[in-house]
Structure 1
Amino acid sequence: MSSPEPLQWRKSSYCSNGTCIEVAKQADQYLIRDSKNPQTAPLAFTADEWSAFSRGFHEGQFRFD
């Protein structure tokens, strides 16, 4: 039995100071973690949940100004 492939964590190209979130895809889930604390268990979202979040972000639903 082979060991699973390591997760490929990605962060935004806008992340310049190292305090970012990172995203990885594992099977049918999207995992989110804080880049400052990578040892902490990540949050997990289904593909539908991730799609809804991504769509809302791109539509400006999460602006705080």
Structure 2
Amino acid sequence: MRQREGIDLAKQEGKYIGRVKKYHGNHAGMNYAVQLYKEGNMTVKKICEITNVSRAALYRKLNKEKKV
């Protein structure tokens, strides 16, 4: 009971964030990977090797942008 109250209080104060994402909103490598993909003259495998971003993460980002 006390733990739940503490968690709720921390959330209200904006202190309870959770795990930090590896590829946050302005991650330079991910943004560059998306830019290279949209240019369309390079394979996804090559883009991921250059930018050091995983294929799964790149496809997740592209699908997320497509839905928005």
What is the TM-score normalised by the length of structure 1?
0.31
Higher relative contact order, structure no. (Cα contacts within 8 Å, ≥ 6 residues apart): 2
Highest Rg: 1 or 2?
2
Instruction: Name the structure with the higher helix share.
Output: 2
What is the TM-score normalised by the length of structure 2?
0.30
Instruction: Name the structure with the higher strand share.
Output: 1
